[in-house]
Structure 1
Amino acid sequence: MDALFLPLAGVVGASVDQVKLITCLLIAYPLGSVFIRIPSSQPAMKHLFNIGITLMFFFPVLQLYSAFFQLLASILATYYLTRYYQSSKMPWVVFCVVMGHLTVNHVIRSVYNLSYETLEVTGPQMVLTMKLTTFAWNVYDGRRPAADLDKWQTSKRVTNFPSLLEFLGYSFYFPGILVGPYLDYADYMDLINETVFKTLAVKGKSGRNVPAGRKRVAYRKMVTGLVYLGIFIVLGGSWNFSISLTPWFLEQSLFYRIAIYQMCGVFERTKYYAIWTLTEGASILTGLGFTGVSPSGETLWTGAANVDVLVIEIPSNFKVLLDAWNMKTNVWLRECVYKRVTPKGKKPGFRSSMITFTTSAFWHGIASGYYLAFLTGGFITTIGRLARANIRPLVLPAAGAPPSIAKHAYDVVGTVITTLLLNYAASPFMLLTAKDSLITWARLGFYGHILIGGSMAFFYAGGTKFFRGLQTKQASKFAANASPISTPVHEKQFMVPPSFDQMVAPQK
């Protein structure tokens, strides 16, 4: 079947594997329209449809025979462990089995030095790892008293164990099997049974409770994804982070290098924007992602999103940026790692945060660049927390008052610094090796380390005490000027913002 893809690969200048992947994502669009036409009264047909399409992707198209059976092995191991192993350690056993299997394949990929253009088992396995470990925790929560669960755990808990067919259908949900989006079992069964649509007062054209507007949103996503893909094909090959390793880059002035690097970061990310937006649109066609109806009557389909491009490229702060990037993975890390490693009755601490960052790094692979990127990201989160706790309260307006010039300046400076640090910290993630990462940082004048180190030194050497003193004086001034019948100053103006651990926890 490669003969069908070789000419196209030559035209666009991409590998055959990349062309195959995009083809599968595009084929999922018409197949999504077929899937949603299968009546909810025949759930077995929907499960079989998912399994059948996944088999088509892996066998004749991608020719990943071994990869499919490896995924199947992890699925069956998870199914029987969660069903028959009643211990409270069950989710961690599943986690070790599934993550360990993924890590072995990451090692194999590294040994063979496979490029990102080569499609093999680790990509789909990363998505499946999130699904299977989440399912294990959902089953565990289904065995716990409801009073011990938080809102997310209560809504996602599994109390009726699925049949093997249902679990295979969930695991092999075809629009997300290759690159996501990851979804939990409760959302999958809502999709199969069309539960989320049954509260709608207005029926769709077919007479069923499937809301209108789905195709319009989905195909708009497809066009958007193809635009991102086009940008990456045309510009990403020349303007990417590896440009820092060329002699030309070294010949430029430091400020020009830094400026060019910001542009390269945008083009580097377009490949992720492309695949996540394409798969989001295909998922919407199956009915996934429905989040309600707007006041104007327009249906909303944001539940399958995995990225918010505008927030990433124009971020107000680093935490908001992280929340908008690979959003489903952030949910998984928060719900299945960050919360779960925190002892009962205690708030998450530094230990919980570091375990979460380490898990994220291992999930991505074993390349040294990943660990440099996540370690740097942890320090960036720290200085973000310090700035938010110490500087931001001083520029917040009183309740009901418009933002001041100082607040606008704070936001602009925050956006610029966040963007600079994003591209600095992300470069090891793309370059993969510590050697290339350190060369790149040196050629950028280590500006990220200067910003991070300088900020931490400032705050810990007396800056925090100084700004807290200003906050106290400001609070006293407002209190002195307030009349007994005046509207009190908004309490958030002087509250200590979330702790470091709350800030680093991935939020949906």
Structure 2
Amino acid sequence: MDALFLPLAGAVGASVDQVKLISCLLIAYPLGSVFVRIPADKPNLRHLFNISVSLFYFLPMLGIYTGFLQLLGDILITYFAAKFSSTSKIMPWFIFIFILGHLMFNHIIRVIYDLSYETIEVTGPQMVLTMKLTTFAWNVWDGRRDAKELDKWQLEKSVREFPSLLEFLGYALYFPGVLVGPSLEFTDYMNLVHEKTFTAPGKHEGGRRLPSGRKRVGYRKMITGLAFLGVFVVLGGSNNYSVMVTPWFTEQSWPKRVLLAQLYGTCERTKYYAIWTLTEGASILTGNGFTGFTSTGQSTWNGAANVIPTVIEFPSNFKVLLDSWNMKANVWLRECVYKRITPKGQKPGFWSSMLTFATSAFWHGAQVGYYLTFLMGGFITSAARLARMNFRPFFLPAEGQPTTTAKRLYDFFGAVISLLVLNYVASPFMLLTWKDSITGWARLGWYGHAIVIGSLVFFYAGGTGFCRSLQKKRGISATKKEASASGTATPVAEKTFQVPPAFDKVIPPLE
């Protein structure tokens, strides 16, 4: 089908693979409206519809034939391993290691053949499938455990009735998210298929349980995603991290290089904003992402979001920034890695964070740049947590009092530092090679390392004790300290770029 897309690819200056991918994401919009018109009392038809659309994407549209067979193999191995070993504690770890190992194998193949990010092949969809299959394994294991041993998320997502193969295939190949996400849990998929999610009172379409407002939100996401894509097409070609390793970049003054790095980071992120917003809108059109009704009866659809661009670009601190990026992956890392590797009865600590970031790096690929970014991310998370616990309580207003000027200034400087560190640490993620990554950091004067390592040295060399002593002298309450540790506000009107409540409850920090 490449011949159909060659003229458009030439017109916009993109690769044929990229144009085909975006076309798949846009085709999902009208198909989402078809999906909801399949009666909920015929769930098998909905499963077959998901499978059929995904087959169309992988085979004639994208031409990923052998790659699809690999994905199908992962799906079947996960299904039968979970079915026949559901009571074994080894089962979820076996599936996790096998599926992640297979993904890593394909990442290595991609590096060997030096495939550019413009080339669409199996690893992109496999990353999404890895989250779904490994999460399913843990959900099945949780379904066999005593409910008293489970936390709220585990209890809600646990699978106690093992699905049929058709149901599982429909879940694994749910078409709006099969290529680039969003991921979802099996229980949420089944609730979507049977329309059990839509039980709250409110306005509904045509007398059905499906809430009204779905199209309004979904197509608004489509327009927003296309706008981000337009920004990337216009600006991304000449404003990206690869410029940092050119001779021209060295001719600029250091302050200008730092400012340019901020521009490059934002332009690089617009392609992720575009793709994730487009898939979110398509998911909403199938009914996925429903989060209830407002007090005026208007439906809300925040549950399929994978990114909140405004929070990324205007964060109040590094925690909310991290929580608002690749949000479904954050949930996966928290539930399938961070909490699972922590011994029972112990609180997660530094090594839990580092192992979680290491898993995230393996999941992303085999390039050295990923490991540099995520290794640095572990230290950034620890430094940011210490800063929140030790500095933030001094600026929180008293309970019941309005936000002070000091708190606004603290939020402003926190946002600036968070963005500076983000755009610094993200450069290896895009430059990929050791040589280019180190060159890029060196040309920025290693300012990100200075901020992060300097902060850790300060806190571990006596800064924490000094701040705690000063907090005690000033009579700062335990409520403020707890709010600072979690990154949430005390019961006052703190409105600076806060994560929406639905997300604040679902995605705690990886620390």
TM norm structure 2 = 0.94
1:498 is the counterpart of 2:498: no
Aligned-pair RMSD on alpha carbons? 1.6
Q: What letter matches 2:463 in structure 1?
A: G
Q: Equivalent residue for 1:480?
A: none
| Kept after mapping to 1: 8 A contact 2:350/2:382 | no
Alpha-carbon separation, structure 1, partners of 2:347 and 2:453? 28
Corresponding residue number in structure 2 for 1:458: 458
- Give 1:327's aligned amino acid: M
Counterpart AA for 1:153: Q
Cα distance in 1 for partners of 2:450, 2:131 equals: 36
**Are 1:396 and 1:407, in contact at CA under 8 Å, matched by a contact in 2?**
yes
Give the conservation status (yes or no) of the 8 Å contact 2:203–2:297.
no
Counterpart Cα distance in 2 of 1:285 and 1:176: 12
Structure 1 equivalent of residue 443 of structure 2: 443
Quick check: 1:138–1:153 contact (8 Å CA) kept in 2?
A: yes
Show CA shifts across 1:186-221 (max 9, x none).
00000000001134354422x211111100100000
Q: Give the Å deviation of 1:498.
A: 3.3
Alignment correspondent of 1:335:
335
- Write out aligned runs for 1:19-418 (5 A): 19-85=19-85, 86-200=87-201, 202-205=203-206, 207-418=207-418
Write the deviation string for residues 414-439 of structure 1: whole angstroms up to 9, x where unpaired.
11110000000000001111110110
| 2:205 counterpart SS class | coil
Q: What is the deviation of 1:354? A: 1.8
What is the alpha-carbon distance in structure 2 between the residues aligned to residue 306 and residue 28 of structure 1?
17
Unmatched tracts of structure 2, length 5 or more: 488-506
Shift in Å, 1:352? 1.8
CA distance in 2, matches of 1:469, 1:360: 37
Higher alpha-carbon Rg: 1
Specify the SS of the correspondent of 2:197. Answer: helix
Per-residue CA deviation, residues 92-126 of structure 1 (Å, 9 max, x unaligned), is 00111111110110010010010000000000000
Deviation of 1:77 after TM superposition, in Å, equals: 0.2
Secondary structure at the counterpart of residue 14 of structure 1: coil
**Residue in structure 2 matched with residue 433 of structure 1 by the alignment:** 433
Once residues 39 and 320 of structure 2 are traced to their aligned partners in structure 1, the CA distance between those partners, rounded to angstroms, is 40
Quote the Cα distance in structure 2 between the aligned partners of 1:246 and 1:258: 15
How high is the sequence identity, in percent, across the aligned residues? Answer: 64
How has the CA–CA distance of structure 1 residues 299 and 202 changed in structure 2, closer, same or farther, with 3 Å as cutoff? closer
1:297 to partner: Cα distance: 1.4
Offset at 1:497?
Answer: 4.6
Cα distance between partner residues in 2 of 1:497 and 1:266: 28
- The 3-state SS of whatever aligns with 1:195 is coil
Helix, strand or coil for the counterpart of 1:344? Answer: coil
Residues 275-296 of structure 1: per-residue CA shift (max 9 Å, x gap) = 0000000000000000000112
Q: Are 1:353 and 1:505, in contact at CA under 8 Å, matched by a contact in 2?
A: no
Per-residue deviation, residues 329-380 of structure 1 (Å, max 9, x unmatched): 0000001111111112222222322221111110001111011101111111
Q: Take 1:4 and 1:496, find their aligned partners in 2: how far apart are those partners?
A: 55
Structure 2 CA distance for aligned equivalents of residues 216 and 202 of structure 1: 13
Structure 1 stretch displaced more, 176-185 or 451-460? 451-460
Distance 1:499 1:238 in 2: 39
Contact 1:399 1:490 (8 Å CA) reproduced: no
Report the alpha carbon displacement of residue 461 of structure 1 after superposing the two structures with TM: 2.4
The 1:395–1:210 alpha-carbon spacing in structure 2 relative to 1, beyond 3 Å, is same
Distance 1:317 1:432, change over 3 A: same
> If the length of structure 1 is used for normalisation, what is the TM-score?
0.94
CA distance in 2, matches of 1:379, 1:34: 47
For the 8 Å contact 2:338–2:510, the answer to whether it is kept is no
Equivalent-residue separation in structure 1 for 2:263 and 2:101 (angstroms): 37
> Structure 1: where are the runs of 5+ without partners?
476-488
* Structure-2 residue corresponding to 1:484: none
C-alpha distance in structure 2 between counterparts of 1:362 and 1:505, whole Å? 22
State which drifts further: 450-459 or 152-161.
Answer: 450-459
How many residue pairs get aligned? The number is 491
The letter for the 2-side match of 1:390 is N
What is the rounded CA distance, in whole Å, between the counterparts of 2:404 and 2:299 in structure 1? 36
The 2-side partners of 1:252 and 1:186 are apart by: 54
Structure-2 change in CA distance of 1:202 and 1:239 (3 Å)? closer
Query: 1:30 deviation in Å?
Result: 0.2
| One-letter amino acid matched to 2:70 | Q
CA distance in 2 between counterparts of 1:261 and 1:21 reads 28
